[in-house]
Amino acid sequence: DAGVTQSPTHLIKTRGQQVTLRCSPISGHKSVSWYQQVLGQGPQFIFQYYEKEERGRGNFPDRFSARQFPNYSSELNVNALLLGDSALYLCASSLSGSNQPQHFGDGTRLSIL
């Protein structure tokens, strides 16, 4: 069975641009969460979606937004990119939005020049 798939793998943008990252969950999983991981730190929670509704939001500015589609895939959008947005963006899926374990995709490495 396919795991969580994310695209693109790598992305290079310049300051002020906008980016959209995509995630397809494990088949049967209805919850998707997004995380940002910078070097030397653990993943930082950005959003969780379950059944197309936002179930949680981390301490990130409004430049970050996300949505979940009827097929449970998800997009993370970041506007007005800053140098500090350079990071590994991870998507994780789980069966439901509660205590179920989350499984991560390979991530999208975003570099801002």
By the criterion CB under 8 A, which residues form the site for other proteins?
33, 35, 40-45, 48, 55-56, 58, 88, 90, 97-99, 101-107
Q: What number of H helices and E strands is found in the chain? A: 0, 11
Least spacing, CB of residue 32 vs other proteins, in Å: 12
Residue number with CB closer to other proteins (35 or 72)? 35
Q: Which of 110, 105, 113 is nearest to 6 (CA)?
A: 105
Q: Cβ of residue 92: shortest distance to other proteins, in angstroms?
A: 8
As a whole number of angstroms, the distance between CA 87 and CA 17 comes to 15
If you ran DSSP here, which 8-state letter would residue 102 be given? P
Q: Whose Cβ is closer to other proteins: residue 45's or residue 64's?
A: 45
Of 40 and 84, nearer to other proteins (C-beta) is 40
